[in-house]
Structure 1
Amino acid sequence: MILLSFDIEEFDMPFEYNKELSFPEQLAVSTEGTNKILNILKQAGVKATFYCTANYAQHKPEVINDIIAQGHEVASHGYYHSDFKPEHLIQSKLKLEELTGKPVIGYRMARMMPVDEKEIEKAGYVYNSSINPTWLPGRYNNFSKPRRWFYYQNVLQLPSSVSPLIRFPLFWLSFHNLPMGLLKWFSKTTHRKDGYLNLYFHPWEFTDLNKPEKYGFPGYVTKNTGDAFVKRLTDFIAWAQSKGYVFDRTDNFVKKIQIESEK
């Protein structure tokens, strides 16, 4: 099984590179990318999970409605992307449930940063997908964390997928920079070992990021963005389907784990 997920947020990444972007522009970039993602998924007949900030969802309820109407899962990505308080866990959950009319059972911390699992449980989440179980310089070192799903503090942990042995991360930057043949080989090897893949992306990757004066991003971020990334993800999904891999929402995968655990 392959779990595709997308972090729908206000596009604040330029701030990390000392650039400014107005809030309406942040929303516009994320919305442009989200609409492209929805089209890719619709054309492929694939369902996925969208981790949304409550801040984005409040300002773009029509996009959230489209996500729900097309059969995808909405999970929480916090209240704001660049600000976090423990109370945001329950507040974002309640706001997203109000906007979607659906239960919100999953959480992903912005930028895959650490989060108190006791607070996650207290807020009523069933699963947390906030761990990238690898080492990224200047960001995190999670070599001590399990690669596959596990329970901690009564919450199911769903780390993003990394390859066996060397723990090469199969995350968004890998999809931009690796040759597709190598990426597919890593994906096949990891799926054979783990039985599933948990992959995550952002809507702004599907827009043109090659704007150095505006965003200030390095080449490894801007490579294969916009239409090139639409083509890459479309190609990856088609390849996976041709190999017999099944795509599903994260909440459905979690339910299967719960059923197996109860046997």
Structure 2
Amino acid sequence: MILLSFDIEEFDMPFEYNREISFEDQIRVSTIGTRIILDILKKHQVKATFFSTATFAIHIPELLKRIVDEGHELASHTYYHSSFDVVDLVNSKKKLEELSNAEIIGFRMPRMQPVDEKEIYKAGYRYNSSINPTYLPGRYNNFDQPRTFFKQEGVWQIPASVSPIIRFPLFWLSFHNLPLWVYKILAKWTLKNDGYLNIYFHPWEFTDLDNKEAYNFPSYVSKNSGHKMAERLDDFIIWLKQNKNQFATFRTFIEQNQLN
């Protein structure tokens, strides 16, 4: 089973590289990318999960409607992408439900940062996908965490997929930088071992990130962005479908595995 997900949010990443970007441009860039993603998913009749900040959702009513109408799952990516308070857990859930008229049962913390699972449970979520169970310099060291889903403090944890044994992460940066045939080998190995694949991307990856003056991104961030990223995802989905893999939302995964 393939769990494709997209963290749709304010495009605030340039701040990490000492560049300014207006709020309007943050929303504009992520809106463009989200449309590209939805078109690819529609082309292949694939369902995915969209973890949205409440702030981004407020500014894209037509896209929010499209996400829900086309059968995708909407989940919370908290209220703001650049700041967090524990009240944002319940407030983002309520705002997303108000805007979409859909039940929100899932959560993912921006930048896969740790969050109190007791608070996640109290806010009413059934699952959390905020763990990348590997080591990423400057971000996290989660080698002590399980590689596959487990329950903690009443909440199902669904970590991002990493390969068996060496725990090579299969997240967005790997998808950008590895030769696609190498990424497919790692994905196939992980799928065979775990029975599912949980990989995530962002809408801004589907726009041109090569503008050094505007973004100052290192090459490992901007590589294969824009139309190249769209082509790679298109190729990857075709390959997965040719190998008879089924795609599902996190909600469907929870239900089919009877994770109550």
TM-score (norm 1): 0.98
Letter in 2 for 1:104: I
* RMSD of Structure 2 on Structure 1 (CA): 0.7
- What is residue 234 of structure 1 aligned with on the other side? 234
- What is residue 58 of structure 1 aligned with on the other side? 58
- What is residue 17 of structure 1 aligned with on the other side? 17
Q: Please state how far the C-alpha of 1:133 moved relative to its aligned partner.
A: 0.2
1:178-208: per-residue Cα shift (whole Å, max 9, x none)? 0111100000000000000000000000000
Does structure 1 residue 162 correspond to structure 2 residue 156? Answer: no
Q: Please state how far the C-alpha of 1:66 moved relative to its aligned partner.
A: 1.1
- What is residue 176 of structure 1 aligned with on the other side? 176
Does structure 1 residue 109 correspond to structure 2 residue 122? Answer: no
User: 2:251 & 2:122 partners in 1: Cα distance?
Assistant: 19
Q: Please state how far the C-alpha of 1:256 moved relative to its aligned partner.
A: 1.5
- What is residue 187 of structure 2 aligned with on the other side? 187
- What is residue 26 of structure 2 aligned with on the other side? 26
Which runs of no fewer than 5 residues in structure 1 stay unpaired? none
1:108-160: per-residue Cα shift (whole Å, max 9, x none)? 00000000000000000000000000000010000000000000001000000
Does structure 1 residue 249 correspond to structure 2 residue 249? Answer: yes
1:212-249: per-residue Cα shift (whole Å, max 9, x none)? 00001000000000000000000000000000111111
Corresponding residue pairs, total? 260
Q: The residue matched to 1:132 in structure 2 has which SS?
A: coil
- What is residue 207 of structure 2 aligned with on the other side? 207
User: 1:91 & 1:58 partners in 2: Cα distance?
Assistant: 13
User: 2:257 & 2:61 partners in 1: Cα distance?
Assistant: 31
Q: Please state how far the C-alpha of 1:55 moved relative to its aligned partner.
A: 0.3
Query: 1:212-227 maps to which residues of 2 (within 5 A)?
Result: 212-227=212-227
Which runs of no fewer than 5 residues in structure 2 stay unpaired? none
User: 1:129 & 1:211 partners in 2: Cα distance?
Assistant: 31
Q: Please state how far the C-alpha of 1:59 moved relative to its aligned partner.
A: 1.4
Letter in 2 for 1:21: I
